[in-house]
Every structure is written in C-alpha cells, then in structure tokens.
Amino acid sequence: MSAQTPYLLFSGTKSRYLADRICKSLDLPLGQMNIQHFADGEFSVSYEESIRGRDVFLIQSTFPNSDNLMELLLMIDAAKRASAHSIIAVIPYFGWARQDRKDQPRVSIGAKLIADMLSTAGIDRLITMDLHADQIQGFFNVPVDHLYASSVFLDCIQKKLPLDNLVIATPDVGGTKRASSYSKYLGIPMVICHKSRLRANEVAEMRIIGDVEGKDVLLVDDMVDTAGTITKAADLMIANGAKSVRAIASHAVMSDPASQRVDDSALTEIFFTDSIPYPGKSPKVKILSIADMFAEAIRRVCNDESISSLYVIK
C-alpha cells in the first residue's frame, strides 16, 4: 500500500464484503491482514503491513456469533501494539444493543459491557449506525459518530412508494421516535402498533393506534431478528383494511425462522441495509448498500468535517 495513503482500512472476516465496497467508494485498497484459526477455535490477528503512526479504521460488525466481537478486539489490540496513531472502530451493526438497561432484577447490561471492552482494547473513536437505543453513545468515553440509514431509505421511499397514500407505522411503541421523524419529514400520517410480550422474541398481543384503512403502510424499525413482531404488525394492518404493507429496517439479523415468516406474511417487501450479511433467501427481502455513506463518513472524519450535516432524518 502506498505510503501516501492518508489512512488505512482493514476488515474482519465477516464484514469483508462491506469493507470492499467502502474501499471501492473511497478508491483505496483494503489493508492486508492475516487472521489465523486454530483447531480448538482460537484465532490470532496480525497486520501484514506497517501501520506505525497511521490512522487505522477497523470495519467489523459485532453480529452473532461472538467470534466477530472477539476478532475485532484482537484487531484493536494488535493495532495498538503496532503503534497506530489512532484506532477507529467502524461497527455498522452494534450487537448486544438491546441490553441497554437493567429492566429486571439480576440481569447484565450487555451494551455497556461491550462498550467497556472496546474502550479497554484501545479504540479512539467509534463509527456506528442506527443503535437500538441512542443512549448507548453515552456508554463510551471516546467520540461516537452515530450514522443513520435514513439517507439510504429516503431515496428508496421517494422513488418507489406512493407518498400521497402512504402511512408511516411503527411495529412497537419503542420505535415511535424513529417513525415520527420519517412522518414529519415526508409530511404524512403515522400510526402505532402497541404490543405486549410473554417472553423475548414472542409477541402475546398487538393492537393498532390509528387508521390504516385503504392506505399503503410503511413499517419502520431498526432491526429484525425473528421477524415475529414486524410480520404480525403487517398482518394486523391488512386485517384492519390497509391496501399494502412494506417495511424498512436497518439491520437484517433475520434469525430462523425469520425468512419463512416474511414469506408467509402480508408484507409486500422489506428493505434492509447491508450492515450485516443477510443469511437467508426471500424474494420479499431487498438489500440497500450503506457503503457510500460509511465511506463519506470516514472521509469526513479524516478531514475534520461535519457528519451530522449528512442527515435530514435522525
């Protein structure tokens, strides 16, 4: 790699597909690194080029399994020991984000633990996207650049959906702020699904607050795991007279049986970003790339330019 390159980008194993796209957008080669795996599941990380005195961006989402997080921690430690000038963790999908508070006795706050581990390993900055809870930024004592997939989704919405008959909806009360931002910016009404759970990943009851009869509904969420909530919300919309139901969600966790649930549901289609690789196959799932957005954020960080000015919806 040329010594004139102002910064270096490296990728963990599972985020290589996205790192390649980001590097292409920046017109930079991806840095060379070796991740060696041992028979017992242990692995080691080494950089195959000098990073002394350089600004290093490490691209890796921390989606399951936990090897992705451990790999990132080793990448950070190796960069620190190789005398990198600064270490910026680029984590498009920040795992464990649903564990952001102590909502019952004797539970961990997983998001805070992950933040502490990344800080202890040695990051100087974090770039992430659409955290499950905004307050997670406060778990870090380093700068956090929180990006929003809204810039990618807005273009899709305005080009593909009939705005004159569109209603924004949220599959649960927790996503009201996010859905409200889209509703206000687009100047269209919003409805809310109120749900109750018996246990994690299992919805007991759901009801609609608002009118969807004869409307094209767009459900807005930050992530889809087992797809139980979003598909039940879509079916409920149709049962209450909606003309069609689509959805947008930033992170396609899509654990089994999510793809089958989407296929069997009233959803016409669902749009995700490529923050993590979509593991299944469904004709209803569409993937939009965030590579250019992250590339621009990286460029602006290096040039000390504003990042918040990129977004009209936050």
* Strand (E) or helix (H) holding 160: helix 150-160
Of the candidates 216, 214, 213, the residue with the CA atom closest to the CA atom of residue 157: 216
Query: What are φ and ψ of residue 211, in 5° steps?
Result: -115, 125
Is 195 a known active-site residue? yes
Amino acid at 256: D
Instruction: Identify whether 65 is preceded by a cis peptide bond (ω within 30 of 0).
Output: yes
- How far apart CA 2 and CA 285 sit, in angstroms, is 40
Q: Kindly name the residue from 195, 215, 243, 284 that is annotated as catalytic.
A: 195
Q: How far is it, in rounded angstroms, from Cα 276 to Cα 94? A: 10
Instruction: Transcribe 58-88 into DSSP letters.
Output: EE----SSTHHHHHHHHHHHHHHHTT-SEEE
Active-site residue set:
195
